[in-house]
């Protein structure tokens, strides 16, 4: 309970600047009363509690399980199962990512309005599902690539530079309507569900392999998870166009 209380205090501290900024501009700059103040307070309380339980849950369960599973796979010595786990983790967390679900649904709606797809609900659902699965596969492969980098000791900077060179080249070839969605997909995949588990996987794996430094080798998986969706979504746009 003490740890949960400290997490609650941390959430209040983190949210305080947002409350101050909104209050200042609403009252001092716009000089208007805060609309629906009662609901605002209720919503703020829900956000605070949700953030508290989320952070506490990460520290209590997700980070430890991610690290322990990575260490267990490293001790087992099976590269195949480690890479299979890495792909499944990246794919599963991305499919369940709320931000990606929201962006895919909005992209489908705008695509229907713009005449890229039919305006039927089924066509929009298929478009959104295809987009989500494309991003999920790309993140799964990104985590596999990141795990291979940790195992082999490859330099991350050259891999990231090469990836962004490919992004720039594909930007010149992909349909204009898909480029913005592709760039946004790189951001929404690395959110509330994906980041904690993937980070724990990298740190746990680097910690359990002799000669690897968790600070140097354990981080960087999120960079791959942000990069590959841009490539895959632009490729997806080329195919469906």
The two three-digit tokens of residue 232, written as one number: 């895959």
pLDDT attached to residue 48: 86
Q: Quick one: tokens of 56?
A: 């506490």
Q: Report pLDDT for 162.
A: 93
So what's the pLDDT on residue 140? 93
> Can you read off the two tokens belonging to residue 172?
């010149």
Domain residue extents for the chain: 1-62, 78-240
Q: What's the CA gap between 85 and 88, in Å, rounded?
A: 5
Sign of the dihedral through C-alpha 174, 177, 182, 183? positive
Q: What would the pLDDT profile of 171-224 be if each residue is shown by its tens digit?
A: 999 888 888 888 988 888 777 677 777 888 888 888 888 778 888 888 888 889
- Average confidence score pLDDT of the chain: 84
Do 177 and 111 touch, CB atoms closer than 8 A? yes
Report pTM.
0.77
**Residue 231 scores a pLDDT above 90:** yes
Q: Rounded distance, CA 191 to CA 185, Å? A: 11
């Amino acid at each position: 309970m003490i740890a949960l209380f400290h997490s609650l205090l941390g959430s209040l501290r983190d949210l305080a600047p947002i409350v101050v900024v909104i209050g200042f501009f609403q009252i001092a700059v716009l000089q208007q009363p805060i609309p629906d103040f009662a609901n605002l307070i209720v919503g703020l309380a829900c956000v605070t509690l949700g953030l508290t339980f989320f952070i506490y849950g990460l520290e209590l369960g997700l980070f430890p399980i991610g690290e322990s599973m990575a260490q267990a796979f490293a001790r087992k010595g099976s590269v195949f199962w480690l890479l299979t786990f890495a792909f499944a983790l990246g794919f599963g967390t991305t499919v369940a990512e709320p931000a990606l679900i929201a962006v895919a649904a909005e992209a489908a709606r705008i695509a229907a309005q713009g005449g890229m797809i039919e305006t039927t609900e089924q066509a929009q659902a298929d478009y959104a599902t295809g987009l989500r699965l494309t991003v999920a596969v790309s993140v799964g492969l990104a985590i596999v690539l990141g795990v291979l980098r940790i195992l082999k000791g490859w330099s991350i900077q050259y891999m990231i530079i090469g990836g962004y060179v490919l992004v720039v080249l594909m930007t010149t070839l992909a349909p204009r309507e898909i480029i913005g969605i592709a760039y946004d997909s790189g951001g929404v995949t690395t959110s509330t569900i994906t980041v904690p588990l993937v980070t724990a996987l990298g740190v746990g794996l680097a910690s359990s392999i002799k000669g690897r430094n968790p600070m140097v080798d354990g981080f960087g998986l999120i960079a791959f998870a942000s990069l590959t969706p841009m490539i895959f979504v632009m490729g997806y746009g080329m195919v469906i166009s």
